[in-house]
């Protein structure tokens, strides 16, 4: 499985394109503010995008969702607890980011620890509320996409609509029980490993 990361210039938000180099099946995680680069990667590698996977519903993570779905026909997958944000432009903050409101429903809502197969690969969904009520981390084998839950050296803010610091600590505790060797790919900033974050991230050290 190959991972292509694309960071936008405005918010340094990471869009991830995950694909099988043999079958060309692909999923895009949190497409936003990068549509030109996303399509260049998809077309260059002749990818078939099956899924658009969302770690959460904030505007800087969903800005390209509807356009990408229109072009690729991919299914949108999100946490069942994030439906409220996806349906409300004021709560997902798209009214502050864009000229037009962004409101939509996912094609498939998932629950904690649900799994989704894509060819030979399996995505596992772990609910990690705190940044938003329906925030989740998405794991594929030894890679995990942590959205705005866990960053390299920090965590996502908890002062926006639906944020909850105590819930965030519980979510970090959940992540702390996972293997150290898991590579984490955050919604902003560079990648890391869970082991490194357990040792050096102030917030993870609170729950380990």
Q: How far apart are CA 145 and CA 54, in angstroms?
A: 10
Contact 144, 137 (CB under 8 A): yes
**SS3 label, residue 29:** strand
pLDDT tens digits in sequence order for the chain, 208 residues long: 999 999 987 778 999 999 999 999 999 999 998 999 999 999 999 999 999 999 999 999 999 999 999 999 999 999 999 999 999 999 999 998 888 899 999 999 999 999 999 999 999 999 999 999 999 999 999 999 999 999 999 999 999 999 999 999 999 999 999 999 999 999 999 999 999 999 999 999 999 8
Contact 140, 146 (CB under 8 A): no
pTM of the model: 0.97
Residue 11 has a pLDDT of 76
Instruction: Calculate the alpha carbon distances from 59 to 90, 94, 95, 132, 142 in Å.
Output: 10, 5, 8, 12, 28
Checking DSSP bridges between strand 2-7 and strand 14-19, what pairing results, if any?
antiparallel
Contact 14, 39 (CB under 8 A): no
Cβ neighbours of residue 34 under 8 Å, at least 6 residues apart?
6, 7, 8, 13, 15, 64
Cα diameter, the chain: 44
**SS3 label, residue 20:** coil
Rg (C-alpha) for the chain, rounded Å, is: 16
Yes or no: is domain 2-205 CATH 3.60.15.10? yes
Residue 87 has a pLDDT of 98
17: nearest Cα among 59, 64, 58, 60: 64
Q: How many CA atoms lie within 13 A of 194 on its CB side?
A: 22
Please state the φ and ψ torsions of residue 23, each to the nearest 5 degrees: -90, -20
Residue 97 has a pLDDT of 84
Give the tens place of pLDDT for each residue, 30-71. Answer: 999 899 999 999 999 999 999 999 999 999 999 999 999 999
Domain locations in the chain as residue ranges: 2-205
Q: Is 205 left (phi over 0), alpha (psi -120 to 50) or beta?
A: alpha
Q: How far apart are CA 157 and CA 151, in angstroms?
A: 11
């Amino acid at each position: 499985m190959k991972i292509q990361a694309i960071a936008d210039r405005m918010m340094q938000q990471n869009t991830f394109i995950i694909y099988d180099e043999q079958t060309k099946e692909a999923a895009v995680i949190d497409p936003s503010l990068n549509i030109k680069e996303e399509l260049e990667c998809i077309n260059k590698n002749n990818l078939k995008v099956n899924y658009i996977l969302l770690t959460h519903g904030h505007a800087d993570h969903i800005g390209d969702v509807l356009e990408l779905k229109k072009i690729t026909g991919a299914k949108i997958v999100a946490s069942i607890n994030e439906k409220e944000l996806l349906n409300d432009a004021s709560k997902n903050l798209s009214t502050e980011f864009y000229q037009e409101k962004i409101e939509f429903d996912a094609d498939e809502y998932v629950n904690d620890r649900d799994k989704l197969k894509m060819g030979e690969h399996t995505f596992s969904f772990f609910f990690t509320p705190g940044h938003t009520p329906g925030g989740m981390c998405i794991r594929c084998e030894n890679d995990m996409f942590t959205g705005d839950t866990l960053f390299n050296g920090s965590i996502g803010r908890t002062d926006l609509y639906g944020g909850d610091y105590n819930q965030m600590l519980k979510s970090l505790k959940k992540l702390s029980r996972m293997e150290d060797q898991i590579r984490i790919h955050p919604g902003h900033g560079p990648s890391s490993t869970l082991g490194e974050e357990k040792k050096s991230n102030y917030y993870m050290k609170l729950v380990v």
